[in-house]
Amino acid sequence: MTLTYLVQHAEKEPLPGDPGLTRTGREQAACTGRWLRDLGVRALFSSPMRRARETAEGIAAVTGLEVRPDVRLRERLNWEGSLPFDAFLALWARTMRDRDWVPPDGESSRQAGARLREFLIGLTGTPGPVAVVTHGGITLDMLRNLLGDEGVPPPVMAAGIPPCAVTALDDLSVVMIASVTHLAIGSADTT
């Protein structure tokens, strides 16, 4: 395997379905792109969901890398608007408590984490480092599979992964979880 940076998509519009990024989200994506460029990232993969795709496109605009979409990077549940938002949040909370429960039209937390892990194993031999734009839920699912709940920082367990936060793995060893320091450092960089 190779060094992989899992990038949570940037800030999205607060709408159901498949919303795009906010203006702040586009700025976060560009900032993350500058940081990844400086780290020498050599490949860029993305969930096909719009918020992830737009984040990856913002990174690609800075790094010059081609965005490679992969359906295995999608989120396990998405608020489509058919349920009231509170009902969706209750559904999400149930999947977080009971990691083996499979909601209608979704997959369990444990299954989603395994799906992301298998994608990462498939990167073996890919020249790295590699950036993978995905979603907070599935990233947290995989971290819980790899580290157990006690290995995930309590603020991440409680609030999730912030927009454009980066989690780094080296040969499936977690070396960084949900870091946003690159956003503060890169915000002053306008190149």
> What distance in Å separates the CA atoms of residue 41 and residue 126, rounded to the nearest whole number?
11
Mean pLDDT of 16-25: 95
Higher pLDDT, 5 or 2: 5
The residues, any chain, with a CB within 8 Å of residue 97's CB and separated by 6 or more, are none
* Mean pLDDT computed over 163-187: 91
Average pLDDT, the chain: 93
Please report the pLDDT score of residue 187 as a whole number. 56
Axis-axis angle for helices 136-147, 109-121 (nearest 10): 90
Work out whether strand 166-170 and strand 3-8 pair parallel, antiparallel, or are unpaired.
Answer: antiparallel
Under the banding of pLDDT at 50, 70 and 90, the label for residue 1 is low
What's the whole-model pTM score?
0.93
Q: Where are the domains of the chain?
A: 3-75+108-186
Query: Which tens digit of pLDDT belongs to each residue from 48-94?
Result: 999 999 999 999 999 999 999 999 999 998 888 888 999 999 999 99
Neighbours of 22 (CB within 10 A): 16
Instruction: Give residue 190's pLDDT.
Output: 42
CATH numeric code, 3-75+108-186: 3.40.50.1240
pLDDT digits (tens, 9 = 90+) for 116-145: 999 999 998 888 899 999 999 999 999 999
Q: What is the pLDDT of residue 124?
A: 84
Edge to edge, what strands does the sheet with 166-170 contain?
67-69, 43-46, 130-134, 3-8, 166-170, 173-179
